[in-house]
Chains A and B, each alone.
Chain A
Amino acid sequence: MSNGAQAAQGRIPETSTAGDPMIQMIGVHKWFGQFHVLRNIDLTVHRGERIVICGPSGSGKSTLIRCVNRLEEHQKGRIIVDGIELTNDLKHIEQVRREVGMVFQHFNLFPHLTVLENLTLAPIWVRKMPKRDAEQAAMLYLDRVKIPEQALKYPGQLSGGQQQRVAIARSLCMNPKVMLFDEPTSALDPEMIKEVLDVMIELAETGMTMIVVTHEMGFARTVADRVIFMDGGEIIEQNAPDAFFNNPKSDRTKLFLSQILHH
């Protein structure tokens, strides 16, 4: 069986949240110059677990997930992804990035390549997959995000929602073990948010390990195993979604929830 077909089948769903740890952050600190942006972050994400991170802007939630694939460097503490510790070792960094998919607020698709080329680039160059297998797999993923008919267009010719779905498919083509979402719906027009969330919900149902930074609290309620609230660079509170929304413990969480839920 070819690599491509294997990739397209997706992984076997794992429901247990008590699976082995996929991501471990131990006492992580990060500074931007003098600004202490992450303060003593301890976080373990288990295989198959779905985590939503919320918090006011500037609370460090994006920075936190960007540390997981080393788009940002941490200055203190340890980050271990799938057994590989992130250090200055470039080999380890590239190893981790191969296993961690990321979806950005502004899609970051490659505008000079067609949708299909966007999807096959990394499998061909990083995974050394034959072009035909990569294209086959890419078409299956485009099917899964429901835009196979756009394969030969350029990103600039698609709507925001379509672009974000292409971005999700692009990450999936690398057959990642973890998917990071950095405010995936914040840059979208309101009528396009649902199509992207639907794709993310379907992805969650396949058992993908996911960390999602978002303000879509409906998504958090239905999909998340755990909701984390960050403020001022710290994890203030974390809980299962029901308990988190119905019975927040800290005052800051209550204030934040009242601000985003009653507007």
Chain B
Amino acid sequence: MPDVTEQQEYPPGQHPSLPPPSSYIGPVAWLRTNLFSSPLNVLLTLVSLWLIWVIVPPLLDWAIFSATFVDGESREVCVKDGACWTMIIARFWQFMYGFYPVGERWRVDLGLILFFGAVIALLIDRTPGKKFIAIFLFGVYPFISYWLFVGGFLGLPLVETRLWGGLFLTLVLGSTGIIFSLPLGILLALGRRSELPVIRMMSTAFIEFTRAVPLITVLFMSSVMLPLFLPEGVTFDKLLRAMIGIALFGAAYMAEVVRGGLQAVPRGQYEGAMAVGLGYWQMTGLIVMPQALRIVIPGIVNTFIGLFKDTTLVIVIGLFELLNIVQAAFRDANWAGLAQEGYAFAAFVFFLFCFSMSRYSLYLERKLNTGHRR
């Protein structure tokens, strides 16, 4: 309650800034406004507390306190009541690299370190020489990574892509999908809004057709149908086909997200850009697209996350990315019945990556907010 008795009179124009009443700030006020502001809010708070009480302690008990953390050869070491992480420990490196030869795994490590090093450097604000890092990442890195991961020349032995697997394969599929779907999606979105009928119709047809088909179908078609249309002897790597399928599929979704952003940029921005003499590509690249993409950051990251998780569908064409290789492990007679632990582990790894993307997008939105009110 504000203290009415201390109400003081000031001459007009002389009223000083006063601190807010104590009932308005501090932890007690925070609790009251956020958790106990109304009867319904009180009820919801209590129900939430009860749910936390019911769920969290048993979960912690299962995953940590009563769990088995020893290494071993089979599920016979699992004697405690809780989770048995022995399978994860024993198969951990396989979950990471698939069947990539043990002696060559440093190539994967080096490639991924280079990749994530460059990406993180680009995402951090204060990195100097971003231009060169970007040139490296988009111009040089694809060749380096091909040499490192596949090899077969310049002194590195060939590792066939059918040996790839685990988190490594998930990252390869996810990052190529993410990196190619955005620029392709931007081009498709521009194409769909083009004034040239041929470009507009082709973009629209591609987007609508691709979106109307499940990703599983696209993957099946790329692995089963495509070879039928190719001339005898021409073969395409299975993994490459999956990568192209995922990138094109993601591009169709991305195009619609970007189109939404383009529609949200006011007409005055186009007119302002044209009036100062910018041409179409300058206007698009400097004025319209930066604003459109900023508006749809949540949608873009949403698509990225969806795409990253959709890579698990490559199981239908026999590729063993993280989830599938974990499933394969607990179907092994030695580990039978450890599905819960396997799924929990796979979920945890996916969560780490997807949650990081989500947090970065929130940071990006805040950073790019220039105080413009629409």
Contacts and interface: CB of A to CB of B under 8 A. Distances in A.
Do A and B belong to a common assembly? yes
A92 to B, nearest CB: 12
A156 B370 CA distance: 7
A121 interface: yes
Most buried by B among A104, A110, A122: A110
B189 to A, nearest CB: 18
Interface string A79-118: 0000000000000001001101110101011111000000
Interface bin, chain A: 20 to 34
B55 to A, nearest CB: 44
A16 interface: no
A174 B268 CA distance: 19
A125 interface: yes
A174 B276 contact: yes
B11 interface: no
A155 to B, nearest CB: 7
Interface stretch (B69-77, B106-114, B242-250, B287-295): B287-295
B372 A111 contact: yes
Interface in B235-283: 268-269, 271-279, 282
Most buried by B among A100, A122, A154, A170: A122
B368 interface: yes
Given A125-B286, A154-B370, A156-B370, A108 B272 contact: yes
Given A154-B370, A156-B371, A109 B278 contact: no
A97 B371 contact: no
Contact of A126 (B268, B277, B371): B277
A260 interface: no
Contacts of B286: 121, 125
Contacts of A71: 271, 274-275
A197 to B, nearest CB: 21
Interface string B135-162: 0000000000000000000000000000
B277 A94 contact: yes
B272 A110 contact: yes
A209 interface: no
B277 A174 contact: yes
Contact of A101 (B273, B275, B279, B372): B275
Interface of A: 69, 71, 94, 97-98, 100-102, 104, 106, 108-112, 121-122, 125-126, 154-157, 170-171, 174
19 contacts: A71-B274, A71-B275, A98-B277, A100-B275, A101-B275, A106-B268, A108-B268, A108-B269, A110-B273, A112-B294, A112-B368, A112-B372, A121-B276, A125-B286, A126-B276, A154-B370, A155-B370, A156-B370, A174-B276
Interface of B: 268-269, 271-279, 282, 286-287, 290-291, 294, 368, 370-373
Q: Which 10 A-B pairs have the closest CB atoms?
A: A108-B272, A111-B372, A156-B372, A156-B371, A122-B276, A154-B370, A102-B275, A108-B268, A98-B277, A126-B277
